[in-house]
Amino acid sequence: MSAYILRRILLMIPTLLGIMILNFIIIQAAPGGPVERVIAELRGHDVTATARFAGTERGEHQALHLTGPTESRYRGAQGIDPDLIAELERMYGFDQPPVKRFLQMIGNYARFDFGESFYRDQSVTTLILQKLPVSISLGLWTTLLVYVISIPLGIRKAVRDGSTFDVATSAMVIVGYAIPGFLFAVLLIVLFAGGSFLDLFPLRGLTSEHWHELSWPMRILDYFWHLTLPVTAMVIGGFAGLTMLTKNSFLEEINKQYVITARSKGLNESQVLYGHVFRNAMLIVVAGFPSAFIGILFTSALLIEVIFSLDGLGLLGFEAAINRDYPVMFGTLYIFTLLGLVLNLIGDLMYTLIDPRIDFESRG
């Protein structure tokens, strides 16, 4: 198993590098950027106006004057002093060729040095650590609730396949498949957060403003009070797939020969189901927990964080993309990708823990 783990770790390097290269190329080809953003802001001022920007490491102010017509590769840069554009390029690191910039970035990322945000006076690492608790709260509680709901429901549907219960719950599953979580979030806001009906839950933040003044029991209640609507929206949008996966896994195992043999020995349905079927059927469901968590944490939570104004990683990435904050964009991409690769490896290792008969190393 150690050889398999080593191969997987070594394979992470080219995988991570390939993802970073592809996204770097896409970002370079996309219109807009930090320099263009500053130019657009300048265009909103008078020709004699001055603007503030962090032109040097000391952050002093410099006057930005518009001059006569000049040629520039930046859209909207005509009439702006070429020296100013050169200073902006140096400030944002665009005075170097793309290949050199990419190699420098990867070299820094290998040391987990993600640099400073373009538009926030903080390092990328500090920003991520600040936003991480919000996203982990959403991802962890959503994943746990999805499993707590989907596994018993899927088992029940498999045992009563074709019954009225199975048909009725299938309608719920279809709704969960068909309607994305962010639409459920909007519906919950309209119904329960002061939209048009009740005003029972808060609409923004993970805690109240006076949270630090509360006692610990009240702090816990306040925390879950704020989590109720966003987590509910994510659970409704995410339980359908796991429910059907659980049902199909149990149906496949129930029809196998060893189940028929166990029944012929006089075992009751509970002994057959939980003594024989459960371990085999739950293999793919339980082992997929790391991948499910990473998927909920880094994809499903994005729009939910935006809708409920939760200051997490999803909202951070959204704002970074809008503002062309490249250090934050690439830093979060690097961390998310690395974490996803590690959790996928953990998922594979969980297969061997649940069922020792699985041997990935012999397949190599």
Q: How far apart are CA 132 and CA 52, in angstroms?
A: 31
pLDDT per residue over 305-359, tens digit each?
888 888 888 788 888 888 888 889 899 889 888 888 888 888 778 777 766 666 6
Question: Does residue 62 register a pLDDT over 50?
Answer: no
b (16+ CB within 10 A) / e for 278-297 = eebbbbebbbbbbebbbbbb
To the nearest 10°, report the CA torsion of 322, 326, 328, 333. 100
Question: Does residue 56 register a pLDDT over 50?
Answer: no
Domains of the chain: 31-110 (no CATH), 124-363 (1.10.3720.10)
Percent of the chain with pLDDT over 70: 83
pLDDT of residue 57: 39
Q: CA geometry: angle at 291 spanning 288 and 292, to 5°?
A: 80
Q: At what angle do helices 313-323 and 124-159 cross, to 10 degrees?
A: 130
pLDDT per residue over 209-224, tens digit each?
888 888 999 999 999 9
pLDDT of residue 61: 39
Partners of 199 in beta bridges: 193
pLDDT per residue over 81-92, tens digit each?
677 777 777 777
> Over the chain, what is the mean pLDDT?
79
To the nearest 10°, report the CA torsion of 221, 301, 20, 120. -60
pLDDT confidence tier of residue 45, bands split at 50, 70 and 90: very low
Mean pLDDT of 191-207: 83
Q: How far apart are CA 286 and CA 143, in angstroms?
A: 12
Mean pLDDT of 120-148: 87
Amino acid at 346: I
Question: Does residue 55 register a pLDDT over 50?
Answer: no
Cβ atoms of 217 and 272 within 8 Å: the answer is no
Cβ atoms of 38 and 53 within 8 Å: the answer is yes
Q: Largest Cα–Cα distance of the chain, in whole Å?
A: 94
Question: Does residue 164 register a pLDDT over 80?
Answer: yes
Amino acid at 359: D
pLDDT confidence tier of residue 52, bands split at 50, 70 and 90: very low
pLDDT of residue 300: 63
Cβ atoms of 291 and 339 within 8 Å: the answer is no
Cβ atoms of 347 and 290 within 8 Å: the answer is yes
What are residue 213's phi and psi, to 5 degrees?
A: -90, -10
pLDDT higher for 287 or 321?
Answer: 321
pLDDT of residue 280: 79
pLDDT confidence tier of residue 77, bands split at 50, 70 and 90: low
pLDDT confidence tier of residue 180, bands split at 50, 70 and 90: confident
Question: Does residue 15 register a pLDDT over 90?
Answer: yes
pLDDT of residue 165: 92
Q: Sign of dihedral through CA atoms 153, 159, 161, 165?
A: negative
Among 246, 251, 52, CA closest to 152? 246
Tokens of 184: 């459920």
